[in-house]
Copies of this chain bind each other. A is one copy, B any other.
Amino acid sequence: MQQFLDGQARAKSAIQSEFDRIFAGLPSEPVHHAMAHAVLNGGKRLRGFLVLEGARLHGVDPARAILPACAIEALHAYSLVHDDLPCMDDDDLRRGQPTVHVKWDEATAVLAGDALQTLAFELCADPAAGPAEVRADLCLTLARASGAQGMVYGQALDIAAETADTPLTLEQITKLQDGKTGALIQWSAEAGARLAQADVMPLSTYAKALGLAFQIADDILDETGDEAKAGKRLQKDAEAGKATFVSLLGLDGARQRAADLVTQACDALSPYGKQAESLREAARFVISRES
């Protein structure tokens, strides 16, 4: 696991530095402090790590790759800020810290989330990210992954599931999670190849399996995890009577499915040989994490 841990530590540090630079250039209204709170309060930086490691595999200058890495972390942070709102999941805690609408107010949380989404596209379109073809491609694919046919679609299906008469089937949950989580993980893993204008296929196959494994692991964690380690409320899905990968496959079945997906993810990286070991370790980490 050492190569993943080292890569993740490098990613955390580089992303933190870049966000410090970005926020130093912004005005200082509450909405800007709220944006910084949402995006700087730690997290695993898994998405940013995937961007930076994918870029490294293709020999892309880290000074270019840091922009889409921060973009996906800003976009992820926006989705969490809005997801935590009282009208959505109504969460008071995120990574052990008060959520934005608790620390400030709902209006500031709506605006901070909005501006974090905008920031994501600003970073992808930044001239320092590379040739115009790459920047336009990053913007287009990020929009497709996060919008009405991507992440927001997954969230809409999730909301619909809460009031549905019957629990979702495995196929429906897979589609929901593919939008809600999978699309952005896939974008993150593919971004390095996009930066290099190289074939995205190996990283794409890796990411599809990884994204699903990630969500299955999330459901297992929600069922069996420790709230103190996770830094958020658990067992919410079970309480709400929502179908999950665990309720549909059983705990052992879900663990087996996640392990199979990790094998698939690792196999997809064979064109990169040993260079991709940190990404393989990341896949193994995803199903063993405690938060």
Q: Are A146 and B118 neighbours in the complex by a CB distance under 8 Å?
A: yes
Q: Are B117 and A149 neighbours in the complex by a CB distance under 8 Å?
A: no
Comparing A7-15, A121-129, A218-226, the segment that makes contact with chain B is A121-129
Copies of this polypeptide in the complex: 2
Comparing A49-57, A137-145, A250-258, A262-270, the segment that makes contact with chain B is A137-145
Within 8 A of B (CB), among A49-97: 78, 82, 85, 87-88
Kindly state whether residue A132 has any CB partner on chain B within 8 Å: yes
Interface size band for A:
35 or more
- A106-B125 contact in complex given A132-B132, A156-B29, C-beta closer than 8 Å: no
Expressed in whole angstroms, the Cα–Cα distance for A88 and B155 within the complex equals: 22
Q: Which residues of B contact A132 (CB under 8 A)?
A: 131-133, 135-137
Kindly state whether residue A246 has any CB partner on chain B within 8 Å: no
Kindly state whether residue A24 has any CB partner on chain B within 8 Å: no
Distance between A275 CB and nearest chain B CB, rounded to angstroms: 29
- A125-B143 contact in complex given A27-B149, A29-B156, C-beta closer than 8 Å: yes
Q: Are A121 and B119 neighbours in the complex by a CB distance under 8 Å?
A: no
Q: Are A156 and B117 neighbours in the complex by a CB distance under 8 Å?
A: no
Kindly state whether residue A37 has any CB partner on chain B within 8 Å: no
Expressed in whole angstroms, the Cα–Cα distance for A144 and B118 within the complex equals: 8
Instruction: List 12 additional A-B contacts (Cβ < 8 Å) besides A108-B156, A118-B147.
Output: A26-B149, A29-B156, A30-B160, A31-B152, A82-B110, A87-B110, A108-B159, A115-B147, A121-B121, A121-B139, A125-B140, A125-B143
